[in-house]
Amino acid sequence: MKAIHIITFFLFSVSLMKCQVKKESVKKTNYINDSITVVKVGEAALLAKFGEKTFLEYRPYIANLLDQNTWIIEGTLGAATKGGVPTVEINRFDRKILDIYIDR
């Protein structure tokens, strides 16, 4: 009887370890690591927020890491243009939009 309890405990422990390994591997591969991908995500958010006219006016959009956790995607101004640009901040690890605005 004692051997059955030990075997059951062992199998349960192994199954828990497998679940934890899978969960950790998903977290590590779920983040946005390159600027091309994050620009596409940012462009979609900016287009939805500001509309096609404003979105197209500030292309191309450029992404930079603001810190270890945050991507910042900003539009560009024409040579003779003054003012701000559409900007979106995205969390690098969970891909949530933190802020979206026109910098003035």
CA distance 93 to 63: 15
The 3-state secondary structure of 60-79 reads: CCEEEECCCCEEEEECCCCC
pTM for this prediction:
0.68
Q: In this structure, what is the dihedral angle of CA atoms 52, 54, 59, 63, given to the nearest 10 degrees? A: -100
Alpha helices in 1-104 (DSSP H): 2-29, 35-57
Print pLDDT tens along the chain (104 aa): 666 656 655 555 656 565 554 455 445 566 888 999 999 999 999 999 999 999 999 999 999 999 999 999 999 998 767 889 999 999 999 999 999 999 87
CA distance 91 to 42: 11
% of the chain exceeding 90 in pLDDT: 57
